[in-house]
Structure 1
């Protein structure tokens, strides 16, 4: 596969990519929506709380699994096969290290929460980190080649596989293990689908990466780390001082709120980052496209969030059932705070597409410190 294909007509690519991604994302949203409802009815609040207690720690280590190099491959104007091979082996090595670190932390995590069930949960949660690292380069190549339809299709089958695996396990009485099995199956399917599409194979191991690429990825990873800390400290504190049941309520409210936001902003990011990267030198065009995209996001997301917030009790009762009524007030307060979330989440595009991840890291450190305080 040619690492530096010519770019087709910009407007046609943006429109086609947006329509294909939006259509496929609709199917993915239905799958995820069913996942939230089905698993809430098959499992107990404590099951979600146990996995949610471990989740932030595993996800934090997971931020290191490719050192931001996947986005560097998408953003760069030109990339060679040698550089692709270097990034692949570095990503694989870091992914393996991340999985080992998570497994080694399992006893400490179980001791911190005072629950030995988290020992097995933590160890099992390490596998997707390694699989995700191995899939980083083929996924980046698909994004770089503007294969939005294939990426969206892969997302759909990955989400479906995860839901089916988790639902079957929950129905079979596996409890919280079903919430661990689902992501593991999804990671295996995502890895297999990515490598089937991309006609690129790595050569012998090479762990030397150019300083420019490494600097881009390191600063992006630094931003992700500080941003993650500010967004997940709440889960750790609730799990520690209030318990798994209360965290289960909070986790369901948070996931229900993020569900529509993530399913709009994440696929849009996949389309916009490679396209904006191609025109970042044309500041007027770049600014105009960015501003128009944010107006569209605000028009789509804000009315929906407001409506869900005002009807939180009815929404929770309809989706989760009567035993989850404690979720409603949490959901309402989070809804008020998230009205600007969809728009503010796109600010990273400006830094990434222009290669200014150092400024992004500095801005993220300041923002995270003020949020935590």
Structure 2
């Protein structure tokens, strides 16, 4: 199959999975936000870093090594599977024993039992990681879509039912656990691969030598991505943490889904053309600009309409999260650039350099936290924006070593996209504040959305942006196939 067809098919199914799964999750979360208190979401946010660390330790980058190694076979897969399951079980037992100490750290006794139930997902995730890696390796994203969406719907329905029945924070815990159980059952049902009782030490060391550096880098990333939750949970109230968590999750809805969908397809595709530097550079540039072209206006127009957006979706009780959301959206504009620049290091097997860069950036985060904690929650938020800029500069510096695409060239490529994004968002914000502030929230959102996105696409046409016809062609291809 031609590369373009493989990419198109993969993008469609990964977008379907990411958006389907996340939109369903968002709708369910929206309903739960109306039924539960910010404090109850804050309790789940308190354990997010421990969940993230557990998941990071469980795999150690070995699944990514399987995707990258085109010669890997059944012995490799079984070896990694056995390691992941044993690691997942061990990590769960450690978290189980340490749960009372975590609860004591936050001075929230209820966290002990929450952690012990919630983290059962480690074992289930460990038992599916190789299967998912094989689906990704073969660019079979259809199956992943057919497993993720039903699991999200059923588990979400359970969460809503329990919330209505008065289970409070436990409705979130049991919903997450059921989601993992259903994913496990469906992935094994659709997978044609079954593990053997084989553990090859030589193959383990082969994948470990590549994967452990990525695993450590991923672990650092998970810890520091959730470090703000720990700091806010420790030094502020559960309610404030709930507001921050709501703002972050709302920002992530458009950002992470588009980015993950593209990364899921782009990584195995980049591996296939890594020996053709000019072709790789061309594809890299197109995908980078495409993801920013889609993500940027969604983030900034949402930020411009944040007040009616949060009141309409979550009710008045969540309005304190609005300024947090707006600042986080600004910082999120550079995240796709981080991700794509770092992906090149993995493609060329430079997991050592990947790890070094992550260590440098994490040192910057620690240093900045020491400086900005006294400035409160807004100091933490604006600090994230500054750190996002610094991280992009560091990541992009090394990209030029592989595909001759330096920082200056990347900025020149994406600047027009950012320019029309900020212009469109500014017009939306001014119009909403001056003309529509007294209107119902739905009217404000509808009008602002039409003006913002309409203006954005009109500017794209006059500016002759190549991303718009590419996006139209992609959608047309899929429609023609369905017809």
Q: TM-score range by the shorter chain?
A: over 0.9
Query: In the alignment, is the contact (CA less than 8 A) between 2:42 and 2:238 conserved in 1?
Result: yes
Q: Alpha-carbon deviation of 1:230?
A: 2.3
Aligned to 1:172: 165
TM-score, normalisation: structure 1 = 0.94
Instruction: Please say if 1:11 is aligned against 2:12.
Output: no
Query: In the alignment, is the contact (CA less than 8 A) between 1:297 and 1:343 conserved in 2?
Result: no
User: What does 1:138-157 correspond to in 2, within 5 Å?
Assistant: 138-157=131-150
**Number of residue pairs matched by the alignment:** 366
Aligned to 1:260: 254
Q: Alpha-carbon deviation of 1:100?
A: 0.9
Deviation readout 1:167-208 (Å, 9 max, x if unpaired): 122112110011111111111111111111222222225262
CA distance, structure 2, for counterparts of residue 127 and residue 352 of structure 1: 30
Instruction: Please say if 1:103 is aligned against 2:96.
Output: yes
Query: In the alignment, is the contact (CA less than 8 A) between 1:235 and 1:247 conserved in 2?
Result: yes
Aligned to 1:363: 357
Instruction: Please say if 1:278 is aligned against 2:272.
Output: yes
Q: Alpha-carbon deviation of 1:162?
A: 2.6
Aligned to 1:3: none
Q: Alpha-carbon deviation of 1:211?
A: 2.6
Query: In the alignment, is the contact (CA less than 8 A) between 2:80 and 2:204 conserved in 1?
Result: no
Query: In the alignment, is the contact (CA less than 8 A) between 2:75 and 2:198 conserved in 1?
Result: no
User: What does 1:60-75 correspond to in 2, within 5 Å?
Assistant: 60-75=53-68
Alpha-carbon distance change, 353 to 206 in structure 1, aligned in 2, over 3 angstroms: same
CA distance, structure 2, for counterparts of residue 145 and residue 233 of structure 1: 35
Q: Alpha-carbon deviation of 1:24?
A: 4.0
Q: Secondary structure at the match of 1:188?
A: helix
Instruction: Please say if 1:305 is aligned against 2:299.
Output: yes
- Runs of 5+ in structure 2 lacking a partner? 368-483
Instruction: Please say if 1:159 is aligned against 2:174.
Output: no
Q: Alpha-carbon deviation of 1:261?
A: 0.7
Aligned to 2:345: 351
> Which residue of 14, 39, 42 corresponds with 1:21?
14
TM-score, normalisation: structure 2 = 0.73
Query: In the alignment, is the contact (CA less than 8 A) between 2:216 and 2:355 conserved in 1?
Result: yes
Poorly superposed stretches of 4+, deviation over 6 Å? none
Q: Secondary structure at the match of 1:65?
A: helix
Query: In the alignment, is the contact (CA less than 8 A) between 2:103 and 2:109 conserved in 1?
Result: yes
CA distance, structure 1, for counterparts of residue 92 and residue 341 of structure 2: 30
Larger Rg: 2
Aligned to 2:229: 235
Aligned to 2:180: 187
CA distance, structure 1, for counterparts of residue 200 and residue 233 of structure 2: 39
CA RMSD of superposed structures (Å): 1.5
> Which residue of 125, 128, 137 corresponds with 1:135?
128
Q: Secondary structure at the match of 2:108?
A: coil
Aligned to 1:5: none
User: What does 1:81-100 correspond to in 2, within 5 Å?
Assistant: 81-100=74-93
Q: Alpha-carbon deviation of 1:39?
A: 0.9
Query: In the alignment, is the contact (CA less than 8 A) between 2:46 and 2:230 conserved in 1?
Result: yes
CA distance, structure 2, for counterparts of residue 207 and residue 123 of structure 1: 32
Which piece of structure 1 moves more, 41-50 or 335-344? Answer: 335-344
User: What does 1:320-331 correspond to in 2, within 5 Å?
Assistant: 320-331=314-325
- Runs of 5+ in structure 1 lacking a partner? 1-7
> Which residue of 224, 242, 249 corresponds with 1:248?
242
> Which residue of 101, 112, 118 corresponds with 1:119?
112
Q: Alpha-carbon deviation of 1:346?
A: 2.4
Deviation readout 1:52-86 (Å, 9 max, x if unpaired): 11121221122111111111111112112111111
